[in-house]
Amino acid sequence: MKKDGRTHDRKTKEALRLMAVARIREGEEVSAVMASLGLCRTTAYKWLGKVSGRGRGLHCLAARKGTGRKPKLTRTQKSQVFRWVNGKNPLQYGFDFALWTREAVRELIVRKFDVSLSVTSVGSLLAELGLTPQKPLQRAYQRDPEAIERWQRDTFPAIAKQAKADGAEIYFWDESGFRADAVHGKTWAERGKTPVINRPGQRQSISAASAINAKGAFWFATYEGGLTGELFVDLLKHLMYRRKKPLHLVVDGLPAHKKAVVNEYITSLEGRLTLQFLPGYAPDLNPDELVWSHAKRTGVARKPLMKGEKLQERVHEQLHKIGENKKLVRSFFKHPSVAYISDC
């Protein structure tokens, strides 16, 4: 009974070819050998032809991986697709939207290479190139890349050098607001049925300020309402209370930080406190931003307030625990966006 040799795996096919040729070379009849293996007699002559002749041999019957269909894009073209997508947006190529989709990449490939791929093939290509769909970080279009580069390359290293010469410390300062009804992150639920999270009906809110340094030091305060120049001075007084070393405080360009009353207070300290201002619209340069990200992902958003519980007490407790965990505070300085900060 003849068998369809194509149903065997590659290794089995290779073994059958070698066995058949060896037996035929030893003197057995071709028809008898192939009948015993259940294969077509004429196939043996193809195998014998492959191993006969100068420079040939049994290695010609070894299993080889199929090459498959020739790819539509060359390696160079694939590399070009990676450069198009990675770190750029469709607006730069004449599209009227700013997020990449498989359809957009497909259209760009047609436009540039005159090669048509299916949407599924484009998805496979992007995966092959190590590109995955991700939620993008948002950046203000007013950002000044040159100012950011100067801060990282020149300004901050100069501040760190001066602080070392003065025996001063460098802290990063930031403010944020908390709401009792805020929900961050995701939870699991049955497909198509949006889960419901119970939260307090009363809308409580509280503001907080904190300051951290690369050695794990952490200071914080909570307050109600928005930040004013006068309130900023009060918070600075608490920060400077019993502080022995001079302090370089890195802050953003919030108007309250630049009020006349703030400048007057700093002048009165006679060099014990200096404000250093980050480039505009660059919160990612401030490691203190990561404190708020951590607090909001792990605090009230994950465990809503219970009846009678106060938001300010919960936030105060959570920030106090962060301050006690120096390893956690130091970890905020390991984020790639703040890698320019040395251990100061």
Q: How far is CA 194 from the centre of its chain?
A: 27
Q: Can you tell me whether residue 121 is helix, strand or coil?
A: helix
Q: Give the per-residue pLDDT at 71.
A: 85
Q: List alpha helices for 27-101, DSSP H.
A: 30-37, 43-51, 75-85
Specify whether domain 146-338 bears CATH 3.40.50.300: no
Query: Per-residue pLDDT for the chain (344 aa), expressed as one digit of tens each?
Result: 556 666 777 788 888 888 888 888 888 888 888 888 888 888 888 888 888 877 677 777 777 776 677 889 999 999 999 998 887 778 888 887 778 889 999 999 999 999 999 999 999 999 999 988 876 655 555 678 899 999 999 999 999 999 999 999 999 999 999 887 655 556 666 677 676 666 555 678 899 999 999 999 999 999 999 999 999 999 999 999 999 999 999 999 999 999 999 999 999 999 999 999 999 888 899 999 999 989 988 876 567 777 778 889 999 999 999 999 999 999 999 999 999 997 55
According to DSSP, residue 251 is labeled: E
Q: How far is CA 327 from the centre of its chain?
A: 22
In the numeric block, which tokens belong to residue 287? Answer: 């490691």
Q: Give the per-residue pLDDT at 152.
A: 94
Contact 226, 207 (CB under 8 A): yes
Instruction: Count each helix (H run) and each strand (E run) in the chain, helices first.
Output: 13, 5
State which amino acid sits at residue 228: T
If one counts every other C-beta atom within 10 angstroms of the C-beta of residue 37, the result is 18
Q: Give the per-residue pLDDT at 94.
A: 82
Name, in order, each residue with C-beta under 8 angstroms of 190's C-beta and a sequence gap of 6 or more. none
Q: Give the per-residue pLDDT at 202.
A: 62
Contact 214, 342 (CB under 8 A): yes
Measured between alpha carbons, how far is 252 from 250 in angstroms, rounded to an integer?
7
Name, in order, each residue with C-beta under 8 angstroms of 4's C-beta and a sequence gap of 6 or more. none
Burial class (CB in 10 A: 0-12, 13-18, 19+), 98: exposed
